Structure 1
Amino acid sequence: MTEHFDPWVIWLVAGLALILADLLLAGGTSGVLLLLGLTALAGMAAALLGLGLTGQLAVAGVAGLLLLPVVLWFMRRMSGGRSGTARRDTRVGGETYVVERWGERLGIRVLGDFFPVRLVDPGDGPAGDRPLAPGERVRVLRFSGITAEVCRVADADRSDPADARRD
């Protein structure tokens, strides 16, 4: 016994599966799966209008091209418009870390990973004469590649060094 599905049902299932995959796998931040899902829904609309497979694929392709800038705008809007700020990681903002030595390098552990550090001034000026030493507390300003650009925690901000974050 063979069952026949209308093409619009296949487009619908594919579109909803892609959109759901974007939400579940990427937390709604992929954009690619969202775009493909919306494109499949456009193919579904073409199938409902009675177009053949070639027409459905053409409508889906044109819809994908037209929806690309819309999805990019939407994703940028959802990220708070912070385009170009991938160097800043909100998960480490405001946290203090203890400088440690790993092999020949000084660095910090952030979210379980070791990152080499570069001492910078919070105002992007010179960092000062004294180099960092193991055990000092620092605050991450930004990342440059895998290097954490840090500043020393001011003496007024210091509390018990045992409460410094060491993930």
Structure 2
Amino acid sequence: MKRLLRYLLSRRGLVCVNYAIVAFIVIVGVESWELLRDAVHNAGEIGEIIDTVAVVLVAWGVALEERGTMMDAFGAYAAGCPEVEARADRECHIYGMAALLLGLFMEVAVEVVKVPDSVVNTVGIESLLFGVGIVLMLVAAILLVRMNLELRRIARTPCPAA
């Protein structure tokens, strides 16, 4: 278990998980965009898709934000280049916070549709609210790709001499 966590938290592991999440988002994003054509009849299914992706983003965002703490706890830092790991931790914190917030706002978009119309009348704007959730999902995918590019750039950074 410790070995698996070390790999997942390594820069290479983060890149792999990010690409897996991006692939998942693209697949469900295309499906939910098609369902959006008839949002009223597909509200339950669209809501479930957006909620599922939101939960993944919230969980992954928290894990990314706390990468440094977990790397310390598992003794998983590579020896010899703490500056590079510190930069990776900083990027993970920033992108993790973004993923967490995007996931939470996606959940808000879905939950507003679920509120009874006598409280918040969403009749006629379900497509708009779900569309916002889908757009946030795609923004999250783009940010994860950008994070991967940043992690790869960091990995190519030479270690300063001790």
Q: Could you say whether these structures have the same fold, taking a TM-score greater than 0.5 normalized by the shorter chain as the test?
A: no
Decide which structure has greater strand share.
1
Decide which structure has greater helix share.
2
TM-score, normalised to structure 1, is 0.29
TM-score, normalised to structure 2, is 0.29
Q: Which has the higher contact order (CA 8 A, sep 6+)?
A: 2
